[in-house]
Amino acid sequence: MTFMDEAIFLLEPILKHGWFLKGSKPSCSVNWSRGKECVFGAMTPGNGGKLLSKQAKKINSENFIEYVQYLLDENGSQVLFMDNAPWHTSHMTSGFLEEIRDCVEPMYLPPYSPELNPVEPNWKSVRSKLANRLFENTSELQRCLGKALDETKININWERYLGN
């Protein structure tokens, strides 16, 4: 059983809390580049809250299929829970999932229900680790994002989550 999701991280700073002198006018540098990094992430009950992630330049059917193949190599046969994003339900993806139906059984979560996907809290945690920083370029964002993904671990009570 594997839950998966995707997230996009921009070069724009993620602003959180800050301390400033009373009466001062805080300012924040901004990199006006439209650079971004996309991440595919998955969790299974047996991986101890660790996110199995892979970075990509864009989220599309081709990269999604590549990520599912990566999950197959890492975890073997599985039931794959995902949302109804266009790249999960495209003609290309449907054909691929049909080809590997002996190894992967796709299960789609109800629309507009991110609370049902245990991967979602990981993105919040990763964004917190990247907060209040200005990245000069996408290479720096990729490096810091990779480190944040490696450090992120969410403790989930799977028994309670799955209703056992």
Selection from 142, 147, 148, 149 nearest residue 11 by Cα: 142
Check: CB of residue 154 under 8 Å from CB of residue 49: yes
pLDDT of residue 31: 66
Cβ neighbour number for residue 54 with a 10 Å cutoff: 16
Q: Which of 9-23, 73-87, 107-121, 127-141 has the lowest mean pLDDT?
A: 9-23
**Structure-model confidence comparison of residues 103 and 48, the more confident one:** 103
pLDDT at 95: 96
User: Under a CB-based contact definition with an 8 Å cutoff, are residues 35 and 11 in contact?
Assistant: yes
Residue with tokens 């992967």: 104
Tell me, what's the pLDDT at 50?
83
- Confidence at residue 57, expressed as pLDDT on a 0 to 100 scale: 92
Q: Whole-prediction pTM value?
A: 0.85
- pLDDT, residue 145, reads 94
Question: Cα separation of 129 and 92, whole Å?
Answer: 35
Tokens read off for 107: 């299960």
pLDDT for residue 45:
85
CATH H superfamily, domain 2-13+30-161: Ribonuclease H-like superfamily/Ribonuclease H (3.30.420.10)
Q: For 68-124, what is each residue's pLDDT tens digit? A: 999 999 888 999 999 999 999 999 999 999 999 999 999 999 998 888 898 988 899
For Cα atoms 4, 49, 134, give the angle at the middle one, nearest 5 degrees.
75
Average pLDDT, the chain: 88
Residue 23 DSSP symbol: T
Q: What is the pLDDT of residue 70?
A: 95
Q: Does the structure show a pLDDT above 70 at 32? A: no
Question: CB under 8 Å to 146, separation ≥6 — which residues?
Answer: 55
pLDDT value at position 17?
Answer: 74
